Structure 1
Amino acid sequence: MTSQPKIDPSLRSALMERPDLLLEDQDLMRALVAANERSMGSNIVDLRGIAMERLEARLDRLEETHRSVIAAAYENLAGTNQIHRAILRLLDPTEFEPFLRDLGGEVADILRVDCVKLVLESTDSAQDDPAVARLGGVLSVVRPGFIDSYIANGRSAPIRQVTLRQMEGGDPEFYGEIADWVRSEACLKLDFGEGRLPGMLVMGAEDPHQFTPQHGTDLLAFFAGVFERSMRRWLQ
């Protein structure tokens, strides 16, 4: 063969010295494979090329899955750290009123929710307690049976410890002035022990995607368990 190479000599020399540069560039390799297929003509089927395309598609899917798994792992780790920080803050107060005020303040900030309310079932006489009036921003006292009714929301499904849902607006009884822009909430049912009426933690968020039924509930269930045990010492 007497034809001279048409490629620039300096570029050709560089590629001859580092052929791996071609192999590492996916777009360039695709262009070379396509040029090779065109040179063979339209009446020839390149099975190797078809197999390579399928392998590339599978590799792309595996890489995407890998990135999704890593992102989910980091998100779960961040969520775990967030719950741990909230629990440590929850355990700091040594008096009941600061304990509840922190729930609607620093604990809510750590959890990145717009509102946290503690709901307690009790008799009518308890609703007139001055302490309830002072803590109205974070504490609501309701009639017996209200919590299960609120969580069920008209459905007959079993009541779970943690219920996550999206909504068009929150209950004004809990959220007050911000009720209109609450778009998702977490309801954590609380068991204070035998012979005591149940309670509930309600967390409201403006973000409609913060609490959805598709999210896991393990961390919130753990938070609810710690809160239950903390409340029992105040209820003795």
Structure 2
Amino acid sequence: MTDALDPETRDRLLADPGAILADRDLMRALVAAREAEVGGNVIDIRGRAMEALETRLDRLEATHEGVIAAAYDNQSGMAMIHRAVLGLLETADLADLGAALQADIAPLLRIETLRLVAEGEPPLALPADTAIVPPGTIARILEAGRRMPRGDDIVLRPAMVVTRPLHGRTIASEALLPMDLGADRPRALLLMGSADAARFQPAHGTDLLRFFGQVFRLALLARLPA
């Protein structure tokens, strides 16, 4: 081995043999050379153990990266919701709140459509851009595509034909946030739409959307006439 290495390389390896262990490709080459030397009838347990450890390390690294990515997504989503909430609170009155939904709040949430839907007969004391639909429509919207209705939970799903007129444009996925405005007020729904099919999926969490919906409800109620 001494004849095969130049003195400088040999001295560096002797001074820091750990450098070999830190290089996966070099370790694989050394193990392969050792297995070739002992022949095909001999199994080098150390080589197999190293391969198993490498596989476990790769899995751990992938899990670690996934956890970091999820944490970053959560932090980014929280910051986005906070900006949108501040936008709601900065509106001066009912008209300002209604105008801000599509013009200001939707871009902050990085979605294409954001609209309030309410059941009843016009005129209603709601923002001008509110979509007024007949009684029973919101229940049909919430139950569309479900095998079994689940009450007034937040719904995340691919965009449905039944909501296409409410979005007013082509949407790939949507979020539906049912709202209880009180016994003397119409049933309502906050409708979100995204051109990204992966934006709203049933498996996603709804905590941040629930928080946003609650803030919107309170902001709306505070601006409605008594």
Task: Output the TM-score relative to the length of structure 2.
Answer: 0.91
Written as runs of structure 1 = structure 2, the 5 A alignment for 1:38-57 is: 38-57=36-55
Change (3 A) 1:148 1:170: closer
Change (3 A) 1:170 1:104: farther
Correspondence 1:78 to 2:76: yes
1:100 aligns with 98
2:211 aligns with 222
Change (3 A) 1:126 1:92: same
Correspondence 1:126 to 2:123: yes
| Equivalent of 2:29 in 28, 31, 35 | 31
8 Å contact kept, 2:106–2:113: yes
Q: What one-letter code is carried by the residue in structure 1 that aligns with 2:70?
A: A
Q: What one-letter code is carried by the residue in structure 1 that aligns with 2:135?
A: P
2:163 aligns with 171
CA distance in 2, matches of 1:64, 1:55: 14
1:112 aligns with 110
1:199 aligns with 188
CA distance in 2, matches of 1:59, 1:172: 47
| Equivalent of 2:130 in 123, 139, 162 | 139
Structure 1's unaligned 5+ residue stretches are: none
- Give the match's secondary structure for 2:53: helix
Higher relative contact order (CA 8 A, sep 6+): 2
**How much is the aligned-residue C-alpha RMSD, in angstroms?**
2.0
- Give the match's secondary structure for 1:71: helix
Shift of 1:88: 0.8
- Give the match's secondary structure for 1:224: helix
8 Å contact kept, 2:141–2:162: no
What are the Cα deviations for residues 16-46 of structure 1, in whole angstroms up to 9, with x where unaligned?
Answer: 2222221111110111111111111111111
- Give the match's secondary structure for 1:226: helix
Q: Percent identity between the aligned chains? A: 40
What are the Cα deviations for residues 137-168 of structure 1, in whole angstroms up to 9, with x where unaligned?
Answer: x4211112211111111643213331011137
- Give the match's secondary structure for 1:157: coil
CA distance in 2, matches of 1:153, 1:196: 24
Change (3 A) 1:150 1:4: closer
Q: What one-letter code is carried by the residue in structure 2 that aligns with 1:148?
A: A
Task: Output the TM-score relative to the length of structure 1.
Answer: 0.87
Q: What one-letter code is carried by the residue in structure 2 that aligns with 1:126?
A: P
CA distance in 2, matches of 1:208, 1:170: 17
Q: What one-letter code is carried by the residue in structure 2 that aligns with 1:142?
A: V
Change (3 A) 1:93 1:168: closer
What are the Cα deviations for residues 115-153 of structure 1, in whole angstroms up to 9, with x where unaligned?
Answer: 111101112x427x8x87xx3xx4211112211111111
Change (3 A) 1:99 1:168: closer
Stretch moving more, 7-16 or 210-219: 7-16
- Give the match's secondary structure for 2:70: helix
CA distance in 2, matches of 1:60, 1:25: 14
